[in-house]
Structure 1
Amino acid sequence: MSKVSTTKKVLQTLTQFTPCDVSDALVKFGDKSGGYFPNLTNYSSPSDGSSVSGKAFTVLYAPLSDPRPAVAFNYIDCIPSPADERILVIGLTPNLQTANAPYHTLTNALYGGLMSTRANYVKCRGSVVFGRIRDVSEHRSLGYPVWSYGVGSTAPKVSVKVVAVGEPIDVVMYDGVDGKQTQMRINDGDYIVADAVNGVVRIAEKAGLLEKVLEYMPRAVAADELVAEDIKQGVEAGKAQKARRANL
């Protein structure tokens, strides 16, 4: 099986599950965060309300004062082929981020309607923006899925520049276990799963992790469906969970 057809099969499978299902599997295999990125809001939903999955295509913005030159092309025209396997992920350098709301120091929007128009045309699966967006009505009119920290009205070029495409993005947040400030990395090509109500998660590129997640999720979801049926019949939740999840 070719790499392309394998990726499409993986994405087809991932889209059948929610971000919660993915997080449960990641916790099972040692990722205490569940791969979850907090504080993002869905501003434009998938047209059918389903989960969206894709491989991250990363774009990094930095302050104009950053010593790195701005990239000499428009990132939106460089989504790797096949673009219909990709989710656009846009981030800021850590010095423009905060662990507390609003999670960044920039009032400018990083992403707007024209970018979604192009992304939608090449069949990109959605955009996740760790910053502000603008032109919300345009994203919605396209039925193109977009998540972000918030909205703004001013274009980014007066404050920031794109310094890297296809390179890692580090997202500043609080550790969900001990409350310490930390960073979660998204690498280009990481798998992203998102929906309108549960948010955004990523499956990191680690040896064998994706295969474990894909094998575990159907069994875990089936077990929880049985737990739900047991509870509806009057079985205590703890007993139902213990019995149905015994072989997971």
Structure 2
Amino acid sequence: MTDLIQKLSKYKPCDISDALTRYGIKSGGTIPHLIQQSPRQPTTSTIGPAYTVLFAALDDPRPAIKGGYIDSALSGCVLILATDTGLQLPYAPYTTLTNALYGGLMSTRAQYLGCAGTVVLGKIRDINEHRDLEYPVFSYGLGTAPPNTVAKVVAVGEILLIKSTMGDICIDAGDIVIADENGVVVLPVKDKVLLEKILNYIPQRVSADAKIAQDIKNGKKATEAQKEHRNSLP
């Protein structure tokens, strides 16, 4: 896993999406509608294996996870917090919950544990605390109220299912998360054949696009430059 992350850390989420769309994943692996809330001036991509956390409504029959989730987060991971599909919406604000699922104390603990960042498919609060920590946080939006009056954590380390107009998205614990101000992309790792194709394609595509950009700067038409350098890619 460390070797894989080192290879991918040289690239941007857009590069990963280019590869995923090339091999049939129309969404490019993007979790839509997320906004980078922290740090104030993002400079690098956030990357790491997903540590998945599932919230459900208080009246859900599943028991709450005892002891919470944050203290079990692993160094280097990206926390992915999502709600049960019954609390999701396919349109803005993408969640039925107005309460925030995540706050500044959670980022303080996550940073201490060495986590790479946090992605919340819902609202967060304490925005300036995350920014003061310079800890990467992505979310749909902001809120003020805590989650415990409306939701509980019912699973950690299990598959998350996210509704999307591009088709449902599955995020498994250990999938690679790559995120920056452009968005959040999830790269599945269990399909070894697909993963090998993607690792082979990305550097070739990045190199081709650099040549295309230079040709365009030199006056060549974009369509001609793209055809010349991309048509030979696998």
* Fold match by TM threshold 0.5: yes
Matches within 5 A, 1:19-98: 19-45=13-39, 49-80=43-74, 83-84=75-76, 86-98=77-89
Matches within 5 A, 1:139-178: 139-175=130-166
Q: Which amino acid aligns with 1:54?
A: G
Q: 1:18 aligns with which of 1, 12, 18?
A: 12
**Residue 200 (structure 1) aligned with residue 184 (structure 2):** yes
Given the two structures, how large is their TM-score scaled by the length of structure 1? 0.90
The equivalent of 1:8 in structure 2 is 2
Structure 2 gap ranges (5+): none
> What SS class does the counterpart of residue 11 from structure 2 fall into?
coil
> What SS class does the counterpart of residue 208 from structure 1 fall into?
helix
Q: 1:221 aligns with which of 206, 209, 213?
A: 206
Shift of 1:48: 6.0
Shift of 1:88: 0.2
Inter-partner Cα distance in structure 2 for 1:246 and 1:45: 38
Inter-partner Cα distance in structure 1 for 2:88 and 2:16: 26
Inter-partner Cα distance in structure 2 for 1:216 and 1:38: 23
Shift of 1:194: 0.3
| Root mean square deviation, CA, Å | 1.3
The equivalent of 2:172 in structure 1 is 187
Shift of 1:210: 2.2
**Residue 119 (structure 1) aligned with residue 110 (structure 2):** yes
**Residue 230 (structure 1) aligned with residue 215 (structure 2):** yes
> What SS class does the counterpart of residue 129 from structure 1 fall into?
strand
Contact 2:40 2:131 in 1 (8 A): no
Q: Which amino acid aligns with 1:200?
A: V
Structure 1 gap ranges (5+): 1-6, 176-181
Inter-partner Cα distance in structure 2 for 1:207 and 1:67: 36
Q: 2:124 aligns with which of 133, 153, 162?
A: 133
**Residue 105 (structure 1) aligned with residue 89 (structure 2):** no
